[in-house]
């Protein structure tokens, strides 16, 4: 039984939801998101939304929880927004941005320049004595996560010294080095 799918979706003030033959559109103060759905029914009434499934088959149960989570993420995204923070750990690792261009110096022979989607706002913070931080903000949770994973893939944290790009608050599994 899907426990996630049975929970109602609270719809805050200023968020409107439209349902048209297989496509749900959520509009809010931060933007607009659309998602296709199938094999479930969606009802919106009294500031809450419910996702129901037609039967208890394994596929319907899976999609029941999936679409409820996707819709909740869309509602939260257009009302509050999503933020991911990445921290650059390592000597000489730097990050800067000019508009939507992110410039990363990660110890390679060249800088990595990444053009970001216009929906994502990027901000780099460099304080003396602290590691540089990259802040990604958008109304689309999937897009923010995808871009953050792409940036992290350039230099994943290594287990001995912990150098690389990691999420803020991420616990790394460290290994002991050679014992002399």
DSSP string covering 55-113, please?
S--HHHHHHHHHHHHHHHHHHHHHHT-EEEEEEEESTT-EEEEETTEEEEE-SSSS-EE
Domains of the chain: 3-79 (3.90.930.12), 82-167 (3.90.930.12)
Question: pLDDT value at position 160?
Answer: 93
Question: pLDDT value at position 178?
Answer: 86
Phi, then psi, of 17 in degrees rounded to 5: -125, 130
CA-closest candidate to residue 164, choices 145, 176, 151: 151
Report the distance separating Cα 64 and Cα 73, nearest Å: 15
Asked if 107 contacts 119 with a C-beta cutoff of 8 angstroms, the reply is no
3-state secondary structure of 135: strand
Query: What is the pTM (predicted TM-score) of this model?
Result: 0.90
List the chain pLDDT tens, one digit each, 180 residues: 458 889 999 999 999 999 998 999 999 999 999 999 999 999 998 889 999 999 999 999 889 999 999 999 999 999 999 999 999 999 999 999 999 999 999 999 999 999 999 999 999 999 999 999 999 999 999 999 999 999 999 999 999 999 999 999 999 999 998 886
């Amino acid at each position: 039984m899907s426990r996630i799918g049975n929970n109602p979706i609270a719809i805050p003030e200023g968020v409107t939801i439209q349902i048209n033959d297989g496509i749900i559109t959520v509009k809010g103060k931060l933007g607009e998101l659309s998602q296709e759905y199938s094999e479930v029914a969606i009802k919106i009434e009294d500031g809450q939304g419910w996702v129901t499934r037609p039967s208890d088959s394994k596929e319907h149960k899976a999609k029941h929880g999936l679409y409820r989570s996707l819709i909740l993420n869309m509602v939260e995204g257009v009302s509050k927004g999503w933020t991911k923070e990445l921290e650059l750990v390592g000597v000489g690792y730097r990050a800067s941005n000019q508009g939507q261009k992110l410039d990363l110096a990660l110890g390679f022979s060249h800088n990595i320049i990444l053009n970001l989607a216009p929906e994502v706002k990027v901000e780099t913070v460099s304080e003396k004595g602290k590691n540089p931080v990259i802040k990604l903000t958008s109304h689309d949770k999937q897009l923010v996560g995808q871009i953050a994973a792409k940036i992290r893939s350039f230099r994943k944290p290594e287990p001995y010294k912990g150098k690389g790009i990691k999420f803020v608050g991420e616990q790394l599994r460290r290994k002991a080095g050679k014992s002399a």
